[in-house]
Amino acid sequence: MPKTHQTKTLIIGAGPAGYTAAVYAARANLAPIVVQGIQPGGQLMITTDVENWPGEVSILGPNLMEKMQAQAEHAGARMFFDVISEVDFSQRPFVCKSDGGDSFVADTVIIATGAQAKWLGIPSETAYLGYGVSGCAVCDGAFFKGKSVVVIGGGNTAVEDALYLTNHAAKVTVVHRREKFRAEKVMQDRLFRNPRIDVLWDTVVSEIRGEQNPKRVTEVLTTNVRTGNESILPCDGVFVAIGHAPATSVFAGHVQMDADGYIVTKPDSTATNVPGVFAAGDVRDKVYRQAVTAAGMGCMAALEAEKFIAAQEDIHNITDLEGPEQAMVSAWD
Ligand code: NDP
């Protein structure tokens, strides 16, 4: 039976941004509702050890997200395992409908649906994900101290990842499907100057190979797309850096987005172009993409939602005043 739920703050998405927003919104008495989406916990659910979350020397990604959800619920946030499939930001309060048929009526909305790394789509990539295959150099680079790693891609992320990985790995090979990078020139120059980085042009990784016990990557099979020649490249890790896709299709036409589909927010703020709708985390961040930065933005979004609601209530209180009180307020204006 479809139901209608009312809240001061609806949070869409349940990664670090969504859960942090939920903690802050609950503590500000906004009685937040979190609609968690298809994969509660977000990208951290498919990572193994997380060693860059403050206060945790090492924690499994899924455990960290379990703790975040528990903390948000403890603070008073209500969780719905459902997917928002329709939004209407043209009326107030906002109305969002879910796949489950429920309606969520909210004074403010925090979009925290995240982004997903794009993957090559080959079976061996899935088989070794978390066992040598990674989509985040900053998260996993430290596991490859003194080792050889491959970075796949030719954009800013791939070049930045390759440079970052030289802090840990002894050898980094960038495998790119074309004969030139699309990354910024200054980044490319830095990469070409680095003696620890090699580039394989016009080349794709067609298979990732490894051992089962313990499970680990040992080499990749590469194919030159011009000649069709295959080669084996020994390596310990494979970083796939072929772009990210923000999960924003449901918001298209409802909030402003950039050409890549990321939600645009005001400088130093999580406010979108729709007053009362905020965006936090990877859904609006193509530069840092870290759990801790997403969480920071979730905090900002909840604080901004609280301020927005307080300002709206002030306006209503002023409008509701009559006689001498209204005259006083008008005089202050
Ligand atoms: P991009 O879309 O810019 O680049 C993706 C790269 O991956 C391209 O070189 C592309 O090749 C390659 N690629 C795509 N699909 C495949 C595939 N199936 N197999 C092999 N290679 C593939 O993504 P990025 O993540 O690098 O950057 C996204 C956005 O974020 C950009 O706007 C970028 O500038 C920005 N960014 C900014 C940063 C910063 O300011 N510090 C840091 C990181 C990103 P091809 O070139 O042939 O299409």
- Say how many Å lie between the CA of residue 118 and the centre of ligand 1: 10
CB atoms within 10 A of CB 167: 11
Percent of the chain with pLDDT over 90: 84
- Please give the number of the atom of ligand 1 that sits closest to the Cα of 178: 47
57 pocket-lining for ligand 1 (C-beta < 6 Å): no
1 pocket-lining for ligand 1 (C-beta < 6 Å): no
- Say how many Å lie between the CA of residue 115 and the centre of ligand 1: 14
pLDDT band at 117 (very low <50, low <70, confident <90, very high): confident
From atom 25 of ligand 1, which residue's Cα is the shortest distance away? 243
120 pocket-lining for ligand 1 (C-beta < 6 Å): yes
Two tokens, residue 128: 């070794």
- Single pTM value for the model: 0.78
Q: pLDDT tens for residues 214-256?
A: 999 999 999 999 999 999 999 999 999 999 899 999 999 999 9
- Give the residue among 237, 279, 236, 234 at the shortest CA–CA distance from 256: 279
- Please give the number of the atom of ligand 1 that sits closest to the Cα of 184: 34
* Catalytic member of 107, 136, 161, 235: 136
From atom 29 of ligand 1, which residue's Cα is the shortest distance away? 286
From atom 19 of ligand 1, which residue's Cα is the shortest distance away? 120
- Give the residue among 243, 234, 224, 242 at the shortest CA–CA distance from 173: 234
Q: Which region holds residue 257: left if phi is over 0, alpha if psi is between -120 and 50, else beta? A: beta
pLDDT band at 320 (very low <50, low <70, confident <90, very high): low
pLDDT band at 333 (very low <50, low <70, confident <90, very high): very low
10 pLDDT higher than 80? yes
Contact 41, 55 (CB under 8 A): no
Two tokens, residue 237: 């890790």
Please provide residue 223's backbone torsions phi and psi, each rounded to the nearest 5 degrees: -130, 130
56 pLDDT higher than 50? yes
Scored b (16 or more CB within 10 A) or e, 137-163 reads bebbbebbeebbbbbbbbbbbbbbbbb
246 pocket-lining for ligand 1 (C-beta < 6 Å): no
From atom 22 of ligand 1, which residue's Cα is the shortest distance away? 242
Beta carbons within 8 Å of 211's beta carbon, 6+ residues apart: 218
Q: pLDDT tens for residues 155-204?
A: 988 999 999 999 999 999 999 999 999 999 999 999 999 999 999 999 99
pLDDT of residue 99: 96
| Least confident segment among 41-50, 67-76, 92-101, 138-147 | 41-50
Q: State the pairing for strand pair 49-50/59-60.
A: antiparallel
Q: State the pairing for strand pair 133-134/237-240.
A: parallel
Contact 20, 293 (CB under 8 A): no
- Say how many Å lie between the CA of residue 182 and the centre of ligand 1: 7
pLDDT band at 295 (very low <50, low <70, confident <90, very high): very high
Two tokens, residue 242: 């072929």
- Give the residue among 63, 61, 65 at the shortest CA–CA distance from 50: 61
**Does the active-site annotation cover 139?**
yes
From atom 23 of ligand 1, which residue's Cα is the shortest distance away? 243
Residue 18 sits at the vertex; the CA angle it makes with 9 and 266, to the nearest 5 degrees, is 75
Residue 274 sits at the vertex; the CA angle it makes with 270 and 278, to the nearest 5 degrees, is 25
- Say how many Å lie between the CA of residue 317 and the centre of ligand 1: 50
Q: Rounded to whole angstroms, how far apart are CA atoms 175 and 148?
A: 13
**Does the active-site annotation cover 299?**
no
113 pocket-lining for ligand 1 (C-beta < 6 Å): no
Q: Rounded to whole angstroms, how far apart are CA atoms 215 and 138?
A: 22
Contact 14, 110 (CB under 8 A): no
> What is the average pLDDT across 50-64?
92
* Catalytic member of 139, 235, 282, 285: 139
Q: Rounded to whole angstroms, how far apart are CA atoms 162 and 140?
A: 12
pLDDT of residue 327: 39
- Give the residue among 86, 62, 35, 27 at the shortest CA–CA distance from 291: 62
State the DSSP code for 40.
T
From atom 3 of ligand 1, which residue's Cα is the shortest distance away? 155
Q: Rounded to whole angstroms, how far apart are CA atoms 186 and 139?
A: 24
**Does the active-site annotation cover 82?**
no
Q: Rounded to whole angstroms, how far apart are CA atoms 333 and 325?
A: 13
* Catalytic member of 107, 140, 236, 285: 140
Contact 132, 237 (CB under 8 A): yes
- Say how many Å lie between the CA of residue 141 and the centre of ligand 1: 19
